[in-house]
Structure 1
Amino acid sequence: MLLSAQAARHAHRLLAARAESSLIPTLSSQGPLSMEDGYDVAKNIMDIRIAQGEVMVGRKIGWTNRSAWPRLGVSEPMWAPLFDSTVRYAPGNHGIQSLAGALQPRLEPEVVFMLGKTPAPGASIEALAGCIEWMAHGFEIVTCPYPDWKLEPADAVAAFGMHGALIVGETRPLSATSRPNLGSVLAMASVSMSWGRDGVMTLRGAGFGGEVLDNPVHALWELHRLLQKQPQFPPLAAGEIITTGTWTEAYPVEAGQTWTSAFSGITLPGLNISFV
């Protein structure tokens, strides 16, 4: 278990690496690092960012594809806080995003929820779905401060959950009648990803909502359950936005590329984002 001073040093090292856009050795290469240690470092980072004036606006969920768990050596998803400084909205589902300073950026297509109500501690999946006010499509840009994306699970938790930025598209309010079936609808939906330069686009890949812990609503529920075991962190609350995990692999991106997405099986508009 990390000493509090050591967790604080790791936190400041990661914050400096992000500010300076510099790679650093993994924390786990400097001594044993458990998942609990990773969250201790993340808690230090969260407290520092709040003290510096950033506003926590929600959470990101990672490791939502169970087939990857044996390779990662984990048995549950992970999460990280989202702050106002890394979340932006794309009017008309089009936008331009700078990659300046982003370390080894990759792109993940996701579904984003906003909680209109605070869920009860023991909320069922159905009750949690009833707390969702709107959903949207989002692109999460994940980044890595460790060389070649080689790291242990606790390194990822400590390093902002690998979160770099979140671009949120048009929000779609949910009705009382749509919420109970939302999980099953999303499980059967699919998204395709294309990229290109100078207007010439090529299909890059596709994925299903069922790859996200059965569906994104279930991923939200798993986050809610995980937070019940982490009293050092605030529980989910009304007003938070939650990005629920990628539907595809994470695609490397670079300046000069444009990426577009398109859904089937659900009425969510795709995104069109150019990176500079």
Structure 2
Amino acid sequence: MLMSSQASRYAHQLLDARANTRLLPLLSSSEPLSVDDAYDIARRVLDIRVAQGEQPIGRKIGFTVHKTWSQYGVTDDVRIPIWAHIYDSTVRFAEDNHGKQCLAGALQPRIEPEIVFKLGQTPSPDATIDELAECIEWMAHGFEIVACPFANWEFTVADSIAAFGLHGTLIIGEPHVLSSATRHNLAQILAGASVSLSSSTDSTGTLRAAGFFNNEADSPQHALWHLHQLLKTQPQFAPLQAGEIITTGTWTDAYPIAAGQTWITAFSGVALPGLTVSFV
């Protein structure tokens, strides 16, 4: 287990690398780094960012169970979803589902199309998946811009947890308040949905990917439930609370992005508009 002073040192190194757009050696390259160690570093990161004036407003979930792990540079055998805080400084809303995002300072940025929930109620500690759905106030589509401070996007799962869960920025489209009927059928609705992801550098778009979930257990709602369960084992972090924004994992591979590109999504099977975001 990491000494408290070492966890704090790693937290400062990660934040410095982010601030100065600088790559770091893998934390796990100098000494063994467990998942528990990584969440201890994440706790130090949270404390430092709050002390600097940022406010946590929710969580990101990464590496949900449908991923093709080898395409994310994961070099160890751990296969678990992860989570990290998102902040008022890292979340944007796209007006009319169109946005512009500056990539200056982003380390090796990639784009991920996701489903975003906002909790309108605090879940009970033992909430089931269906009871968690009743706590969701709205659902939206979002782009998470992930960033990696490690060369070639290669890391262990523990490294990625410590490095802010690879979270850079979350761009959220128009929120849709859920009806009671939609909450009741949310798992089935999302299991039948799909998204297309396209990019362009001029007036011609190129389809890059199509994403969907294989079954109801491999879904944003299940990812939310897993996070709720995991937090019960992590007393150093607050449980899920009303008002939190939760982004639930990518529907496609994470694609490298660059200034001058515009990325576009379209959904089928679910009443959500796509997003169009241009990067500068």
Percentage of identical aligned residues: 61
1:199 offset after TM fit, Å?
1.7
Per-residue CA distance 1:210-238 (angstroms, 9 max, x = gap): 47951111110000001011010000000
Does the CA contact (< 8 Å) of 1:212 and 1:245 recur in 2? no
Greater helix content: 1
Matched with 2:46 is 46
Identify the match of residue 207 of structure 1 among 208, 211, 228. 211
Does the CA contact (< 8 Å) of 2:190 and 2:270 recur in 1? yes
1:68 offset after TM fit, Å?
3.9
Does the CA contact (< 8 Å) of 1:66 and 1:213 recur in 2? no
1:77 and 2:81 are equivalent in the alignment: yes
Matched with 1:160 is 164
Which one-letter code corresponds to 2:173 in the other structure? G
SS of equivalent to 1:10? helix
1:30 offset after TM fit, Å?
1.1
Matched with 1:263 is 267
Per-residue CA distance 1:39-97 (angstroms, 9 max, x = gap): 01010000110111111100000010345469652243110000000000001000100
Structure 2 CA distance, aligned partners of 1:35 and 1:118? Answer: 26
Which one-letter code corresponds to 2:8 in the other structure? A
Does the CA contact (< 8 Å) of 1:64 and 1:211 recur in 2? no
Structure 2 CA distance, aligned partners of 1:213 and 1:44? Answer: 33
Structure 2 CA distance, aligned partners of 1:214 and 1:173? Answer: 23
Matched with 2:202 is 198
Per-residue CA distance 1:141-176 (angstroms, 9 max, x = gap): 000001111111100000000000000000000011
Structure 2 CA distance, aligned partners of 1:214 and 1:181? Answer: 15
Matched with 2:249 is 245
Matched with 1:55 is 55
Name the stretch that deviates more: 107-116 or 60-69. 60-69
Matched with 1:17 is 17
Structure 1 CA distance, aligned partners of 2:2 and 2:26? Answer: 15
1:187 offset after TM fit, Å?
1.1
Matched with 1:5 is 5
Residues 95-114 of structure 1: pairs in structure 2 closer than 5 A: 95-114=99-118
1:13 offset after TM fit, Å?
0.2
Does the CA contact (< 8 Å) of 2:190 and 2:216 recur in 1? no
1:259 offset after TM fit, Å?
0.3
Which one-letter code corresponds to 2:23 in the other structure? L
Which one-letter code corresponds to 2:58 in the other structure? G
Structure 2 CA distance, aligned partners of 1:182 and 1:259? Answer: 27
Per-residue CA distance 1:183-219 (angstroms, 9 max, x = gap): 1110110000000112211111111034795111111
Q: Alignment length, in residue pairs?
A: 276
Matched with 1:228 is 232
Does the CA contact (< 8 Å) of 1:21 and 1:103 recur in 2? yes
- Measured at CA, do residues 67 and 22 of structure 1 come closer, stay the same or move farther in structure 2, by a change above 3 Å? closer
SS of equivalent to 1:28? helix
Q: Which runs of 5+ in 1 are unaligned?
A: none
Q: Which runs of 5+ in 2 are unaligned?
A: none
Name the stretch that deviates more: 178-187 or 208-217. 208-217
For normalisation by structure 2, the TM-score amounts to 0.96
- Measured at CA, do residues 20 and 272 of structure 1 come closer, stay the same or move farther in structure 2, by a change above 3 Å? same
1:136 offset after TM fit, Å?
0.1
Does the CA contact (< 8 Å) of 2:66 and 2:218 recur in 1? no
Does the CA contact (< 8 Å) of 2:101 and 2:277 recur in 1? yes
1:260 offset after TM fit, Å?
0.1
Matched with 2:28 is 28
Structure 1 CA distance, aligned partners of 2:84 and 2:217? Answer: 17
For normalisation by structure 1, the TM-score amounts to 0.97
Name the stretch that deviates more: 63-72 or 230-239. 63-72
